[in-house]
Amino acid sequence: MTTTGQSDDRLLFLLQTVEKEGRHLIGTTGRLFADTIDAIWVQRLEDHPELAERTDAFATRFGRMQDTLGDKLIPELRRRLLETPGAALDNLNRMEKLGLLASVTDWMEARNLRNRLVHEYMRDEAEFAGALNRAAELVPLLVSTYNAVNAYASNRFGASVPHWPAPLPAAKCKS
């Protein structure tokens, strides 16, 4: 059985991890989506290794933040609330009921985008461009969910913690 101190440490560790992942994701998103991404842009990645690496960084950071937040932080928050974490969908529905997640449907789409970003890479340029653009549109969902979970956890458990993780700046939705 986990003691409260260990659970506090785990919650803080996960909040700090997601905050760092979010900062990196926001930065990469801003740099990658400075240009319009379409099928032709994807075709040109072969000739621009620095853009290909930035694209990979975005896909990895998007997936990592989504995974850490959804598969680790949210279940840990439920444990701290003395609830039993369930399947991912159950945990997400609980976060939506608490007002910490705007849309379970969008979250599930973000979760499914990880596979599209990996498996459609360079097979179908138009599909890959569409997946990249949709993932960029969902970055604000990840950021706002982290910020909501962070604020909620801070209000509930953060009074005795001297250096609580900072909120992330609002991510702009790619238009």
SS3 of 105-125 = HHHHHHHHHHHHHHHCCCCCH
Q: List, for residues 109-162, the tens digit of each pLDDT value.
A: 999 998 888 776 667 899 999 999 999 999 999 999 999 999 999 999 988 888
Give the domain ranges of the chain: 4-155
Confidence check: pLDDT of 1 > 70: no
DSSP notation for 52-63: HHHHHHHHHHHH
In this prediction the pTM is: 0.91
Can you read off the two tokens belonging to residue 172?
């702009």
